[in-house]
Amino acid sequence: MKNLMIIKKGEPLVDSREVSKGFDVGHKQVRNLIQTNIERIKRFGNLEELEVKTRKGRIEKFFLLNESQALFLVSSMRNSEVILDFRELMVREFIRIRTGLQQAILNKSNQQWLTDRSRGKLVRCVTTETIEKFVEYATNQGSKNAKMYYRNISSMQNKSLFILREKYPNLRDLLTDRQLSFIQVVDIISSEALREGMSQQLPYKEIYELAKQRVTTAAELMPKTMVPLIEADQIPNLNKDNENG
């Protein structure tokens, strides 16, 4: 259950399909439970219903529930070890993600962080310009998906430095001063590797691998840290409450 939560408009939400996995029941049963209690659930906020086409071509409807809605839904289930375990997991995830989102708000009121962030944006602009030239270079060498390198290089950098459990629209807004300094370093390393490879007229795939190798080597000197910065063992033990009824 790697992607239990998603973040939408600054709010952590849980997918009803993930709830069905946590309950160890079919998604239809969870949807029926939501429909049965829909008026009560809506008292806790807007309930978003979406649909997606499955691999078999069928349309599957699902819900996105906020924290209060998800906890109400769990409370409507008869307690079992599976339900209690999932409830604990879900509470921990909501706490962890809320903490990360609060970190982003605090960062924007910290003058030192704002200064570091502005400096990082300047470095990132240079990196983006270099990637733009590399995309053109790769396209001229025959790459049909060269524009993917904007995302691929950023993803490679983030994965080398951080422990990521969600997809963030603005990842760098969650980083600490120290993490910002790390990402600035790998931005510079990436740019230098791309420019060096292009100046030597290497094949575009070799240039990307050169950048990846150098970033990976540098990242080994910087311990991976969690984003948001909260680990499971920092959250109070919820089992005690469950055991006491």
List the alpha helices (DSSP H) in 27-110: 27-36, 38-42, 67-75, 81-107
Residues 73-111 pLDDT 10s: 988 888 889 888 998 888 888 887 887 777 777 777 888
Count of CA atoms in the C-beta half-sphere (13 A) of 162: 27
pTM passes above 0.85 = no
pLDDT by residue for the chain (245 residues), tens only, comes to 456 788 887 788 999 999 999 889 999 999 999 999 999 999 999 999 998 888 888 898 999 999 999 999 988 888 889 888 998 888 888 887 887 777 777 777 888 888 988 999 999 999 999 999 999 999 999 999 999 999 999 999 999 999 876 666 678 887 888 899 999 999 999 999 999 999 999 999 999 999 999 999 999 998 888 876 544 444 344 444 333 33
The values of phi and psi at residue 224, to 5°, are -65, 140
Q: Return all residues near 166 (Cβ < 8 A) that are at least 6 apart.
A: 3, 5, 6, 7, 97
Instruction: Give the strand order in the sheet containing 5-8.
Output: 5-8, 11-15, 59-65, 48-53
Instruction: Please state whether the peptide bond connecting residue 203 to the residue before it is cis, i.e. omega within 30 degrees of 0.
Output: no
Query: Closest by alpha carbon to 133, among 158, 145, 150, 155?
Result: 150
Domain ranges of the chain: 5-105, 110-227
Q: Are 10 and 101 in contact (CB under 8 A)?
A: yes
